[in-house]
Structures are given as C-alpha cells and as structure tokens.
Structure 1
Amino acid sequence: MARSADVPLSVLDVVPVFEEGSATGALRDTVALAPRIEELGYLRYWVAEHHNIPSLATSAPAILVGRLAAATTTLRVGSGGVLLPNHPPLVVSEQFGTLEALYSGRIDLGLGRASGTDPITARALRRVPEGTDDDFPSRIRELSGYFAPGTPTTGITAVPAEDGRPDLWVLGSSPSSAELAGALGLPYAFAHQINPHATATALDHYRMAFRPSAQLDRPRNLIAVLTTVADTDEAAWRVASPYLLGKLRMQTVQRFDAFPSEGTSAAHTYSSTERTFLQDLAEPQLIGGPRTVRDKLTALLQHTGADEVMALTIVPDQEDRLRSFALLAEAAAGVRPVSAEGASARL
C-alpha cells in the first residue's frame, strides 16, 4: 500500500505490559505486529529503551530491532531511542553497524540523552560514580565518527560500522534538543506525547538551528504522538483509558508492574484533579474516531509543520491496537505535511 503522497506514518512501540499479561507476551505481540504495520504502508517502526520498569518490556532495543527487521522486508526499523548515556558509543556503533550490514538501508538509530530509569539503575548500567556528567553532544559526535570510512575515532575501527551507516536521529522533548539536532545536521524526533505544548516551538528552533551535514542537506523531523483511533470518539477514549490511568499512577508511584486493564480503568472514579491532568495530556493527542482524528491530524500538521507522524498506541488488546493503526492510515489518507515553504513562513 503506497502512502508516499500522504503524511508519512510510523510507529513507536514501548512494548507495554498490561494486567494479566507478561513481558514475554508483550514482546511476542510486538514481533507479530510489525509485519501487519508493514502491510498498512507505514514507513518505520521504532522501539524505545527503558530499564527496571516492569510495565515496559524494552530493555534491549538493539536485539529487538534485529528481530523486527527479520520479521519484515520493507519497513524501516530502529530505536526510539538508544539512550546514549547508558552505553559506550563504540558498542552502539558496533551493534547498529551490524544491523545495517544485515538489513541494509532499513535501520534507524535514534539517540536520546535521558537514562530511561531511576538513578540506582542508571548507576548499574553505566558503572560510573554518581554525579558523573555525560556530554551528550560529544558522545553523538564520537558515535558518528565510528561510521565514517577512513577516519577511525581515536584509532579504533568499529567493525562493521564503516561499511554502512544507519540513519542517525536526535530525540528530544525540548527546544534545546531541537537546537542540538539542527546544529549537528541530523533529523529530529520530538516527543509530542510527553510535551505537546512545546512541539511547534521546538520544531521552529530545529529549523532555525539547522546546518547541512553529510547525512542531511535540509531539515527533516517527525513527531511522536499518543494515538488511539476507534470507530467512535467514545470507543477510542474507552480503549485509551487503561494507559491514561497508568499515566495517573506514574504521578503517585515510582513503579508498577503492569498497566491497568480496561475493566480496572472502567471501575476507577476520577477526581476533578485527575480529569484536568488527563485532559491537558490527552486532548492535544490523536484520540478519537476517524473523522475527529483526521481533523486533529490536519490541525497538528498545520500548527507544527511536522514532516512525519509517529503513532504511540498503548492499548490492552492486540486487535484493538492493530485496528487503531489501520483506522489512522485511513483517516490520514490525503492529509499532507505542510510544505517546506509553508514551514519556513511560520518562522
């Protein structure tokens, strides 16, 4: 299914674990979902990185990216993202250089500056003293150097990274990360699902800071958006409610083993404070029936000038999840990104 004339659609997967489920089952669901996403004409499929969070089974993105690439044929697969402070750049370049060698032209390497976990687990991952500062820009430059043929970083050759380079992306949720991506001449992925009220500003900063590089001659961006599409608005909010209740729990507890089920969320009595929090988080996202989502998507593209939309869909039932992606593709048919000229006019 070709979607080249429409806004490109992609998927961000955090491999959520729900009540009465398991991390193993969630991982198997992800592997089963990727070929179906490919059939729907989506462009790319990214997996996140989290540690010591039982409700998110994404502790090893490089391994999962390889499995997803093996399960698909045309879909771009990658990390959304590898959290670079947790890993030596050399190791990341070797891992993703290997993936690029095996699945040439289909691998994305999204890079984030957070740890994706609590401070104790971060120390266990990094094996560095507490308070040690990681210089994210220099680590990106070091990693990028391993992919440059004939110019080994500090005399080290990362095998087989020099043979082929995946697309590098900078991930973020603030104008500062946008400016970094622009200055490095790399594509930028903004976390609209985390900080929706800063999306347009961050993308403006990215375009203004952009300098051409060996990878990219003009700005390119995507926005990750919390997305749930069902036959009606009411059904979409019902299907999305377990994740939204989970987000409320994250505000009061540091850790829980699984996202609530639809039954648990239906039985929850929301306070006015909770409803205000959820409305502020969810209203700017793509939740609703096909017509509502089409209108929201069109307005979002016009407001931000985003080049691509990456859907984060966290629902308990695998078929509801797949149907949401199918309905999103239908709703987005004919919806196009704002032209480069139109985006520049917003600056």
Structure 2
Amino acid sequence: MNEKAGFALSVLDTVPVWNGVPASRSLHELLELAPEVEGLGYRRYWLAEHHNMPAFGTSTPPVLIGQLAAVTSTLRIGSGGVMLPNHVPLVVAEQFATLDVFHPGRIDLGIGRAPGGEPATARALRRTGDPAHEGSFGEQLEELIGYLTPTESGDRPAVAVSPPPERRVPVWLLGTSASSASLAARLGLPYAFAHHLNPAGTDAALARYREEFQPSEHLAHPYVAVSSQVVAADTDEEADWLAGPIRIAHVEGRINPLTLFRTPGQAAQYELTDSQRSYLDGHFATQIVGGPQEVRRRLAEFRSRTGADELLAATPVFGLEARVRSFELLAEAVDQPLVTASSGALSPASSASNS
C-alpha cells in the first residue's frame, strides 16, 4: 500500500462526462480505472453523489460502489459522499449493510449534507421544500449510525437493518466548512474536507475539527482526509493542458450547470475574462497540478499545510491513459523526495504532521 509515515493516497471520483463522448463510456472506464489504482497501492476509491448534472456520472453511488468492489480486492470502496438529506437514513443503512455483506470490511460510507444538485432537483429528490421536515441533519446522521451499529443477539430494536450489520461500516462526515468540522468532532467521526471546492476554508475547518474532537467508539483520535484537484503529467505544460477542462468547468458550471466537461482542446478555445482568470489562478494555487517535480513540491506544501492523514485525489482528466498516468505520478511523488534548489531534499513525509 502506498503510504509513507501514515500518509495515504485515495481517489475521489465524480465520473466526469465529456462533451461529444457518451456518458456510458465514463461509467465503463471506471471498471478499468479502479483496478489500475488498486495496483498502485491507493487506499480507497470514493464516488460522489450528484443529480441532474450531466457532467457527473455519479447519481447512484451505492450501485457504482458494488460494481467497483466486484472488480477489486484490496481497495476500500465508498461514497464521498451520500447526500443524506436526499435519502431516508434507514434505506442508506440497508444499502451499505448489504454492500458490506458482499465485500466485508471494504466499504466506506461518507456522508454529506449538500443537495448534490440545484434547488429544483433538491425538491424533486426530497419531495418537499423544507429539507428539515424529518429532523436536522445531525439527527439524521445519528439515526443512520444507529442503524449500522451491530447489536447483541436478542437486542433487536423495533426498526432494524436487514441484513443486520455484522461489523461497523465506517461512517465519515464530509464538509466544506467549520460547521461540518464541529459536527464530525462532536460525534468522533473521521472527517473529509473538500479543499478542491473551498481551499480558503481548509485551515479553519481542520483546526476546528482537531480542537473539538471527542474520542468515540468510532475513532480514538482525529483522522482527516483532504481532497485536492490533482493533475499530474510528464511535463508542467502537459499538466496545464489536461487541467484546462477542470478550470473551465469551475467558471462555466456556475453559468450553466447542465454543461458537460470540455475536452482539453475545447477548453483551450474558451475565452476567460480577467476576473475569471484571477479567480481560477487563486483557486488552483493550492491544488496539485504539474509535472513530476512540481507535483512533489505542491504535495509537500499540501501535507505541511493540512497535516492530512490522507489525500483524496480528484482527477477529472480526459482519457483513461492520461488519468492512470496522473495517479502513477502522484504515487511516485509520495515515494520520492523533493529536490530543492538549495541541493537539499525535502521529504513530504517529514514536512507534514500527521494525527
């Protein structure tokens, strides 16, 4: 497994769908990509939940989790995450307890509170204009955890999961703010922060989580996974080219959420305004994009800044071969020291504090 000094590599996938390419191809490529990632020693492979967003092929994480778990053997497969307000907690518990029966000890349940789509879609999913009509998010989360907690024989509650859980399915809380960090800390859950969505909020959220963490039956010490956009290639120029569609999606998606990912060539033709370019330069300054040396440098900075136990690499790169290569280079960046201009070597393992 590709881990150095307690630091692990994992994948956060939205299954990008490309302009001019059938969505089915992106889904089928998952079955080729996950075994490649497993062979590189990554720890887990998570799938996000999105609805009515054609650029993302992840409307049904539990279905995709079952498919990926069936073609892998060591990767932990999970959700990053299931958006709990869209679902009944009991049904989510039943889905993940069943997945764990077929793939024991390899299933993760990451939970988020965002709708995973725009307001009209959220209303269609929840069948109400009031997301809090069945209790607060925190109450829903504790209900879900209760369903997934194994019980002693003869202690069956009035409402229970079938099949009954034989072991704890690890529950994570995902977030983009300090409020989610506080909830994860109070419940003693592992926490995953979406740095690729809100880099400005990373430091405050991680500090809040670590300061407020309460040991629990789930976790004795704080554990943090932090996501980042990761585009690694053999040269800086190639990485910038491959990252073009992600950059454009960050601005185009705000204008039209129904757009697909552009191919790199199509993205190069998009004319950014000065304000858009400034926003993107700031947003991507702390993401991990570049050739091998630049990726090592940015990875070391990422680890030093976050103290993350784990990196969730979000890599919506066009083309299966280029995507696999990006994951290869990221794995190599963990294994190899960063050679600095002063002729010293900065090891990423020594530049991060891991909880």
Identify whether the pair has TM-score above 0.5, normalized to the shorter chain: yes
Q: Which residue of 1 aligns with 2:339?
A: none
Instruction: Tell me how far apart the structure 1 counterparts of residues 101 and 302 of structure 2 sit (CA, whole Å).
Output: 37
The one-letter code sitting in structure 2 at the alignment partner of 1:31 is L
Instruction: Tell me how far apart the structure 1 counterparts of residues 334 and 284 of structure 2 sit (CA, whole Å).
Output: 19
CA drift at 1:3: 3.1
CA drift at 1:262: 1.4
CA drift at 1:153: 8.8
Instruction: Tell me how far apart the structure 1 counterparts of residues 25 and 120 of structure 2 sit (CA, whole Å).
Output: 27
Q: Which residue of 1 aligns with 2:69?
A: 69
SS in 2 for 1:225: strand
- Deviation beyond 6 Å, 4+ runs, structure 1: 151-154
CA drift at 1:160: 1.9
Instruction: Tell me how far apart the structure 2 counterparts of residues 132 and 285 of structure 1 sit (CA, whole Å).
Output: 33
Would you say the 8 A contact 1:86–1:115 is kept in 2? yes
Cα displacement string for residues 29-70 of structure 1 (whole angstroms, at most 9, x for unaligned residues):
112100000000000000000001111110100010011000
In the alignment, which of 249, 268, 271 is matched to residue 270 of structure 2? 268
Cα displacement string for residues 171-192 of structure 1 (whole angstroms, at most 9, x for unaligned residues):
0011110111010000000000
Distance 1:186 1:274, change over 3 A: same
Cα displacement string for residues 261-293 of structure 1 (whole angstroms, at most 9, x for unaligned residues):
112112223321221011011111000111111
Instruction: Tell me how far apart the structure 2 counterparts of residues 90 and 215 of structure 1 sit (CA, whole Å).
Output: 19
SS in 2 for 1:162: coil
The one-letter code sitting in structure 1 at the alignment partner of 2:288 is L
The one-letter code sitting in structure 1 at the alignment partner of 2:142 is R
Instruction: Tell me how far apart the structure 1 counterparts of residues 193 and 2 of structure 2 sit (CA, whole Å).
Output: 25
SS in 1 for 2:303: helix
CA drift at 1:4: 5.0
Would you say the 8 A contact 2:9–2:43 is kept in 1? yes
Name the % identity. Answer: 45
Instruction: Tell me how far apart the structure 2 counterparts of residues 33 and 230 of structure 1 sit (CA, whole Å).
Output: 17
- Aligned ranges for residues 326-337 of structure 1 at < 5 Å? 326-333=328-335, 335-336=348-349
SS in 2 for 1:54: coil
Q: Which residue of 2 aligns with 1:139?
A: 140
* Number of aligned residue pairs: 339
Cα displacement string for residues 232-278 of structure 1 (whole angstroms, at most 9, x for unaligned residues):
1111011110121122111222321x111112112223321221011
CA drift at 1:6: 6.0
The one-letter code sitting in structure 1 at the alignment partner of 2:151 is G
Alignment of 1:160 with 2:147, yes or no, is: no
- Aligned ranges for residues 2-81 of structure 1 at < 5 Å? 2-5=2-5, 7-81=7-81
CA drift at 1:323: 0.4
Alignment of 1:195 with 2:193, yes or no, is: no
CA drift at 1:124: 1.7
Instruction: Tell me how far apart the structure 1 counterparts of residues 262 and 138 of structure 2 sit (CA, whole Å).
Output: 38
- Aligned ranges for residues 216-295 of structure 1 at < 5 Å? 216-256=219-259, 258-295=260-297
SS in 2 for 1:8: strand
SS in 2 for 1:259: coil
The one-letter code sitting in structure 2 at the alignment partner of 1:98 is T
Q: Which residue of 1 aligns with 2:188?
A: 185
Distance 1:235 1:132, change over 3 A: closer
Q: Which residue of 2 aligns with 1:338?
A: 352
Instruction: Tell me how far apart the structure 1 counterparts of residues 229 and 119 of structure 2 sit (CA, whole Å).
Output: 27
Instruction: Tell me how far apart the structure 2 counterparts of residues 132 and 329 of structure 1 sit (CA, whole Å).
Output: 41
The one-letter code sitting in structure 1 at the alignment partner of 2:352 is V
Q: Which residue of 1 aligns with 2:344?
A: none
Q: Which runs of 5+ in 1 are unaligned?
A: none
CA drift at 1:5: 4.1
Instruction: Tell me how far apart the structure 1 counterparts of residues 266 and 14 of structure 2 sit (CA, whole Å).
Output: 21
